[in-house]
Amino acid sequence: MIFLVISCPCALVISIPMSWFGGIGGASRAGILVKGGNYLETLSRVKTVIFDKTGTLTSGKFSVIDVSSNVMSGPELIEIAALVESHIHHPIANSIKSEYAKTIDESRIKDVRQISGLGAKATVDGNRVCIGNEKFMRDMGVEFDRVDSAGTVVYLTLNGKYIGNIVISDKIKEGARSTVCKLKREGVDRVVMLTGDRKIIGENVAKQLEIDGCYCELLPNEKVEKLEQFLKNRRLGQSVVFVGDGVNDAPVLSLADVGVAMGAIGSDAAMEAADIVLMDDDIEKIPLAIKISKKTMNIVKQNIIFSLGVKFAILFLGSLGITNMWLAIFADVGVSMIAILNALRALKVKSK
């Protein structure tokens, strides 16, 4: 009977899940939604963190800083662009609509179509209008005046002819640089950025944030290919985390070992595909999430070692006839309670 009571696995069966629940609960108190204990375990082994740029490392709050056209006035160009972007929910589209600041006349717009990673097209007042990046213009075979700027440049065509461009600027998020430093302190070997923006923009952001690697002018499928390369080259036992916010990031978020999405400005598709969601878009909580995952893993290991160690020690004493039933009950119920109390430490999270 003494052997039977001691060997009961209550401490392991109860305390280990409690540790995961404690880690998930502690993370949720800090505004980090973790969808399962397995993601905390994977996060604790992260060595590479890959960021999307717009809306993740940068604020995603664009503003128009320059408008250029040889065939019409700046306000007219903004009006045409706003009409095309009227049904599109993207930071760049939103900035153009904010600059227009007038009610959109839906009767003037037909056949709106968004082309992922390139731009959009629509029929405005019977004319075919396209708006997008350099690659979009080249794909359509349009001759255009290329603009070198540290901001995001969108080009417009009217019935197949280039009519002008709009330069839009985005700001780096407060705390983005400190996040990169904290990730390094948490044991992350490499921080990388993937973006669909031009090289000059991406490299400028990467330089300011001291990011290890930067890959620019990527379409959504090319981001997936880059991530697959990182996953293929990672060492056994190490994991790769991707952090993004947009619809275009959903395939990459689902493919990564751990996908982290922005909860406030992120799209529904991104949050659905992600394993962890930052409810207030504070990227400084990514190092905090890693710290919570490592603390949780340590508690899980402590509970395993403590539970098995005490049980085997008392079983040994029992084999010598030294153990009584009271000590056997302690080895079962007492050890379980101690392990559960230890697991509750995972609920306590220090933000700093």
- Please, how many CA atoms are within 13 Å of residue 264, restricted to the half-sphere of its CB? 12
Report CA 10 to chain centroid distance, whole Å. 37
In angstroms, the CA 251 to CA 344 distance is 35
Give me the half-sphere count of Cα atoms (radius 13 Å) on the Cβ side of residue 225: 6
Q: What is the DSSP string of 295-310?
A: HHHHHHHHHHHHHHHH
Per the CB < 8 A criterion, the answer to whether 165 and 68 are in contact is yes
DSSP state of 55: I
What are the φ/ψ torsions at residue 73 (nearest 5 degrees)? -75, 165
Task: Please give the Cα distance from 265 to 90 (Å, whole number).
Answer: 10
Total count of residues recorded for the chain:
352
Q: Is 275 among the catalytic positions? A: no
Q: Collapsing DSSP states into helix, strand and coil, what is residue 45? A: coil
State the Rg of the chain over Cα.
27
Return the SS3 of 152: strand
Q: Is 111 exposed, middle or buried (0-12, 13-18, 19+ CB in 10 A)?
A: exposed
d(CA 294, CA 79): 52
Q: Which two tokens stand for residue 51?
A: 């960021």
Query: Which residue, among 188, 297, 171, has the nearest Cα to 243 in the 3D structure?
Result: 188
Query: If 0-12 CB within 10 Å is exposed, 13-18 middle and 19+ buried, where does residue 10 land?
Result: middle
Helical (H) or strand (E) element with 43: helix 37-43
Q: Determine the Cα–Cα distance for residues 273 and 47; give it in Å rounded to an integer.
A: 21
**Active-site residue, selected from the candidate residues 52, 249, 275, 332:** 52
CB 265 within 8 A of CB 254: no
Active site residues: 52
